C-alpha cells in the first residue's frame, strides 16, 4: 500500500515539474517541444495513478497538448447568445472548447458543473428565487 502512495506522489512531482518546464518552453516559442513535454507529463500522471486537477487539464490543448497561454496559443471569447459561454480556441491547431457559464445568482464566473449540480441544489435555487422576489417588491 505504501509503494502505491509513493508511486502516486512521485508521479505528481514529475507531472508538475514537466508541466512548468513545458510552459517555459511555450513562452520561449518552442511549441513542438512544449507539446512533447506535456504529452509525457500526462502519460506519467496516468501511469502513476495521479488525478490531474481540472485547472491543469484546462490549461493544455486536448488535441495538440500545447500549453494554452492567452494571446500566444489561446484565443478567449465570450458569447452571450442563449446560454452565456466562454469559447477558448487553440491558436496552434484550431481546437475549440466551449464552457457554459452558470446563470444562478451568487455563482458568477463559475461553470454550471462547478455549482449548479452540487448538493442542496434545490435550496440554492429557492433562495435565489426568494431574493429576486424581495428585490422586485
pLDDT digits (tens, 9 = 90+) for 49-64: 999 999 999 999 999 9
- Going by the annotation, the residues of the binding site are 61, 64, 90, 93
**86-127 pLDDT tens trace:** 999 999 999 999 999 976 666 555 555 444 444 555 555 565
- Going by the annotation, the residues of the binding site for Zn(2+) are 61, 64, 90, 93
Q: How far is Cα 38 from Cα 36, in angstroms, rounded to an integer?
A: 6
Q: How far is Cα 47 from Cα 65, in angstroms, rounded to an integer?
A: 17
pTM above 0.85, yes or no: no
Which residues fall within 8 angstroms of residue 5, CB to CB, at 6 or more apart?
none
- Residue ranges of domains in the chain: 2-101
Amino acid at each position: 500500500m505504501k509503494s502505491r502512495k509513493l508511486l502516486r506522489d512521485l508521479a505528481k512531482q514529475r507531472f508538475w515539474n514537466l508541466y512548468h518546464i513545458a510552459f517555459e518552453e511555450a513562452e520561449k516559442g518552442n511549441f513542438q517541444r512544449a507539446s512533447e513535454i506535456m504529452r509525457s507529463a500526462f502519460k506519467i500522471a496516468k501511469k502513476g495513478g495521479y488525478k490531474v486537477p481540472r485547472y491543469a487539464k484546462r490549461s493544455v490543448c486536448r488535441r495538440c497538448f500545447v500549453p494554452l497561454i492567452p494571446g500566444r496559443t489561446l484565443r478567449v471569447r465570450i458569447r452571450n447568445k442563449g446560454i452565456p459561454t466562454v469559447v477558448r480556441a487553440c491558436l496552434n491547431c484550431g481546437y475549440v472548447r466551449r464552457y457554459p457559464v452558470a446563470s444562478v445568482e451568487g455563482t458568477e464566473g463559475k461553470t454550471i458543473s462547478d455549482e449548479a449540480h452540487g448538493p442542496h441544489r434545490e435550496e440554492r435555487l429557492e433562495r435565489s428565487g426568494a431574493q429576486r422576489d424581495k428585490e422586485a417588491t
